[in-house]
Amino acid sequence: MDYNNIEIATFAGGCFWCMVEPFKKLEGVLDTRSGYTGGHVANPKYEEVKAQVTGHYEAVQIAFDPTVVSYERMLQVFWRQIDPMDDGGQFQDRGSSYRSAVFYAGEEQKAKALKSRQELETSGRFPRPVVTEILPLGEFYPAETYHQDYYIKSPIHYKEDRKVSGRDEFIKKYWSDIK
């Protein structure tokens, strides 16, 4: 991997615990961080974000080598983890901090994100409009240490939470035709 050629992708897809594992599995991913972005409070804490008082989204930030995995591939993985029709949160996690969004870093990422959303909208895969926003990346605040790689640190709780969330059933319903 070329550690001098690193790109960052930032996605909000509801609970950040569920967004890390799919990216971590990709060849070319160098690091993932759970955190907060898109709001108006500096250095927010989890309790504040969860209480919906900061304007921040729970998000995951991925450092990757674009010579190994493309930003377009990152977008594909993102879209296949969320319900892009839901603007009130994701699955069992409700409220503004759990909305889905692509946070772009630069015009090239913006163009690719808009194109991928348009392709998804016109694909006929979903019965309602795609409402996931494409937003400029502002400050990203890493979440508390216990949230980082939660699926590894607390696998039983992670699996239980994911099972009751409805995320996997949604993914199976809308994406089972793609491996």
List residues with catalytic annotation. Answer: 15
Tell me the residue type at 71: Y
Can you read off the two tokens belonging to residue 41?
Answer: 């409070």
List own/partner pairs for 116-120 with CB under 8 A and 24 or more apart: 116/72, 116/75, 116/76, 116/79, 117/84, 120/79, 120/84
Cβ-Cβ contacts under 8 Å for 140 (sequence gap 6 or more): 10, 33, 35, 36, 37, 59, 61, 103
Can you read off the two tokens belonging to residue 116?
Answer: 């991928």
Cβ-Cβ contacts under 8 Å for 41 (sequence gap 6 or more): 48, 53, 54, 55, 56
Beta-strand (E) ranges in the chain? Answer: 7-13, 29-37, 57-64, 89-90, 93-94, 100-104, 133-136, 140-142
